[in-house]
Structure 1
């Protein structure tokens, strides 16, 4: 027997494909920024557990049959399964950028190279690329970090497992060893994570995410699919289904409610997710399970089989069709992008992944060069271009209608020359206020503070504005201490942070506790077309209720439907926008002075 024969007896588990479907749909929903899937990033964590289980299960079956692990055959199978589809996607993205934005392609060269060699996650870590707080156009291949972790596991784990089996042949001892590795990895995430800061280092790291894969691997040692059979008692079957159903419900609740900035997520929250995932997988692997039959229904199984294709194609479609990432998509735009994603995924699965997996690269290339390939390719190309054109037309039409319904005319108003604004076709700005002295007022902010500094200094002579590009709330305390040491901290402090990323409420509370002796603190809500916008604003409003000297300046509400105040990134202000922003701040400060 050769090393490939073990695959012929491996049992197909449709319920596992159903879980794959749920996981990839959660990730797609998360990247579409659906409110009901704010925890959709957890789908990647579920995939890690699945990979750990299925790969270890396959390796152990091979060892059971042959008393050996054919490493080279294993690695070739993995590469044939994963690499061709990813290379095809990378080529598509590269060609698209060559035509539309060659400068951007050059800036992403490191991302492309690191993805091909499956070290993208470490490339992102060493170049300080944030998964959560990144500003500007999102990378169309920014999701490949997770594939790098999986491929690193595929490269190293068979060797480690082969050695472990030789030195610890008993399953119980082997499970303990794997559990220890998982504990070390989970502890590393909890220890390395710093509350209130960008969690990208622990989110990307192989060392801090490996516990999910190890938990799946430990499950495969103790609950191998090839040892399970249908002959279990009705009571055991019902118990399994109840446990699995409860676990699945918990996973869905986590996907619905989890926030990517919750400290608890990085302090063993991902570990909890992995354990629940392993419990669900153990039930779905049992052939007698009714839950496995339910999740193995044809629609979910169909999506699950193509989950890898859907994962690698959905994010390029989303980012390339909306390169700035600032527009909130309407339902028709989302449907068009989903259709394109599924078309590309089906083609990838049908013409690249499955044929290459079964017959190899050379044989499939010969088939593609035959006449059978050209007709589907032509139909697909024209369909894809038509869908892109339709989606682009919808976007432009929506923008034109929005601007025609509510044009933005912002006029600077001074105390000597007040102009009446027609509310039918212009935007209202705060009423002009008498000149207010700025002594004793300090503004601490990010690039927006720099954006409006000159306007504020004109309107509030003597004000101190301390702004810095990229500043986050976690840095505010040190800024305050520095200003206090230089005797530049006023007794009325405006804190305008949150544009560059979320923060936890405990760090904000600590900051406000240190300012209890000040006369007045103003917290400015943010408007940023990123998924942390609502998290920031809710945290600001929740904390404000606990401090009588703290007041909210609601920039988010004041700037609603005033798109012409912003440049194309939807955050930074035009000259008119800077005037408007400053007027909002001055109005609130003047109310308290009066």
Structure 2
């Protein structure tokens, strides 16, 4: 009898649901491009640590009770928990796209298959799909890479843990082994990350993200929830809560201030976040924690219990309801509408699909629903609403008319001198008396481009052929995903090859914010050159920050001019591809002629 009383018991920890709620809200805010949550992508890492802890804690409890781990049963529980909501989302998205955009549906075949088999993160890596340049018609399944990493963990970890317990029955050795694996993974992220380049490889990789899950697993080995005793001294309780509250404060600050292109994030920044998350979890799972009770309030626990459903449904709604990727952001009413749809879909998914399947009474649940008198009118209303939204989408696509491309702007209105204040982006940029036709520019090319260098990112690649046509001999060095932090290295390489001209155009900033001190260092090394900094237009939260920084730093140097692409392209959606950043052929011609006019003004 006493032996049974000593057996560990699983208990509900409401604070964990509170932490889930904070994490999923951060991710949703990030995908809505809300400025106060520019680091909301960190919420995924919090989920990784949580998964590592909870799963390992559960498996260790099962081992303690049964001296065995029923791996097959564990896998089936995980699949019942995860697959139904995802498959439901797939079906609804497929029906929507079949009715509104069948071509787009066909293009998502690889995303669908890789997600079903939980290898989506490696599919994205092998196909070189950037997480950070998904500006426009991104895949509505683009958030499922993280579920692939978690499911890969669920498949492999019970086996590895079972082997670990067999060969290292002492918790100390097991804990050390897990920490060694976590260290290897963290080092892999640091070594594979290349500053200045798109970090998608290390962001997506199971090998480079596993340390977050392993840190959670290590915490479960050394701080098992079922071993903790709520009878601790008041001083210890206060200390525990203060440490947890400090960790939570650090997490909120990181979510607010972190930029996804910050080098430090991939050079142990994610590791630091994982350790902070582990500290928070250690506090929340302790039965004596007051912080756990605070985060366990009803609104947060409700969100936490629905966090998986919210995560599954939020991204397709955001992507499929995005009317124009080049828009400057959604208004309050638009965000509220999308949030309402996300919450409704999550509730329906949770109540009528996920929970019935997880608890094995799916058929009974739906049999009772079908017999209910109000069910059939609800079906009719749902079909009517879906038909309405589909019809609205058809009408919108059918009536969408592309305006004709205007002539390029006068260079006097798009270039700022050192002592010239920043132009108001709403002013009229076309000077009827001084405008220059870009068609004329292509017919009568200006002086050749010897001694001119253009350094940029993927936008530079869009205009490469047009610039070279206008300026034969110009050196163009563009690369997808390039950031300002890489500019000095590119300059040094071009200088060593003898390809660095006396007039240098720098088009960088589309891929994230940068350190102003690094830009100043770059400009200090180029004081004998004429430099042109091009502002950016990108439907991301960092757009204004980048442009303000370019103008602030550029105005400090006599040899620097600002080419205000942001202002020149105001209300010119016809210049852009669907992503709102890259250019159509006409947009590339327009952009190229703008650069040429500036060079002519300073020749």
- The TM-score, its normalising length taken from structure 1, stands at 0.84
Residue number among 548, 566, 570 corresponding to 1:560 in the alignment: 570
Distance 1:58 1:448, change over 3 A: closer
Q: Secondary structure at the match of 1:142?
A: coil
Provide, for residues 257-281 of structure 1, a one-character-per-residue CA deviation record: whole Å limited to 9, x for no partner.
0000001000110111111111111
Which string of whole-angstrom CA distances, capped at 9 and with x for unpartnered residues, describes residues 218-273 of structure 1? 11111111122321221111111111111111100000000000010001101111
SS in structure 2 of the partner of residue 552 of structure 1: strand
Structure 2 residue 553 is the aligned partner of structure 1 residue 537? no
**Cα distance, 1:559 vs. partner?**
3.0
Corresponding residue for 1:355? 356
Does the CA contact (< 8 Å) of 1:528 and 1:570 recur in 2?
A: yes
Deviation at 1:377, TM superposition (A): 3.9
- Asked if residue 103 in structure 1 is aligned to residue 113 in structure 2, the reply is no
> Are positions 1:549 and 2:546 aligned together?
no
**Contact preservation (8 Å) 1:453, 1:465:** no
Deviation at 1:379, TM superposition (A): 3.9
Which position in structure 2 is the counterpart of 1:39?
Answer: 39
Point out where structure 2 has 5 or more consecutive residues left out of the alignment: 1-5, 412-424, 437-444
- What secondary structure is seen at the aligned counterpart in 2 of 1:359? coil
Provide the residue aligned with 1:25 in structure 2: 25
Q: Partner of 1:225 in structure 2?
A: 225
Aligned length: 573
Partner of 1:140: 140
Instruction: Kindly indicate whether residue 184 of structure 2 is the aligned counterpart of residue 184 of structure 1.
Output: yes
Q: How does 1:133-212 map to 2 (within 5 A)?
A: 133-134=133-134, 136-212=136-212
Unmatched tracts of structure 1, length 5 or more: 1-5, 416-422
Cα displacement (A) at 1:571: 3.3
- What secondary structure, in the 3-state scheme, does the structure 1 residue paired with 2:359 have? helix
Instruction: Identify if the C-alpha distance between structure 1 residues 183 and 578 changes in structure 2 by more than 3 Å, giving closer, same or farther.
Output: closer
547-556 or 260-269, which deviates more: 547-556
Secondary structure in 1 matching 2:538: coil
User: What is the distance in 1 between the residues matched to 2:254 and 2:496?
Assistant: 45
Quick one: structure 1 residues 153 and 376, their matched pair in 2 at CA, closer, same or farther if it must change by over 3 Å? Answer: farther
What is the match of residue 126 of structure 1?
Answer: 126
In 1, distance between residues paired with 2:99 and 2:435?
Answer: 51
- The answer for the alignment partner of 1:428 in structure 2 is 430
Q: 1:261 to 1:84 in 2, by over 3 A?
A: same
Matched, 1:494 2:505: yes
Q: Give the match for residue 331 of structure 1.
A: 332
In structure 2, the CA distance between the partners of 1:564 and 1:326, relative to structure 1 (3 Å rule), is closer
Q: Separation in 2 of the partners of 1:527 and 1:429?
A: 22
Q: Contact (CA 8 Å) 1:427, 1:562: kept in 2 or not?
A: no
Decide which moves more: 47-56 or 563-572. Answer: 563-572
User: Is 1:297 the equivalent of 2:297?
Assistant: yes
Q: Deviation string for 1:558-590 (max 9, x for gaps)?
A: 433444554554335568756764565456445
Displacement of 1:472 after TM fit? Answer: 3.2
C-alpha offsets along residues 378-405 of structure 1, whole Å, 9 cap, x if unaligned?
44444566678889999999x99xx9xx
Structure 1 residues 189 and 478: alpha-carbon distance in aligned structure 2, compared to 1, 3 A threshold? closer
- In the alignment, the residues of structure 2 paired with residue 351 and residue 468 of structure 1 have an alpha-carbon distance, to the nearest angstrom, of 50
1 CA distance for matches of 2:54 and 2:537? 44
Measure the CA separation in 2 of the matches of 1:388 and 1:243: 51
Task: Quickly say closer, same or farther: Cα 1:42–1:457, change in 2 above 3 A.
Answer: closer
Equivalent residues in 2 for 1:401-480 (5 A)? 410-411=406-407, 427-429=429-431, 432=434, 437=447, 440-445=451-456, 448-449=459-460, 464=474, 466=476, 470=480, 472-473=482-483
TM-score, normalised with respect to structure 2: 0.83
Query: Counterparts of 2:393 and 2:250 in 1: how far apart (Å)?
Result: 36
> Quick one: distance in 2 between partners of 1:348 and 1:464?
57
After TM superposition, the structure 1 stretch with the greater mean CA deviation from structure 2, 466-475 or 328-337, is 466-475
- CA change 1:341–1:8 in 2 (3 A) is farther
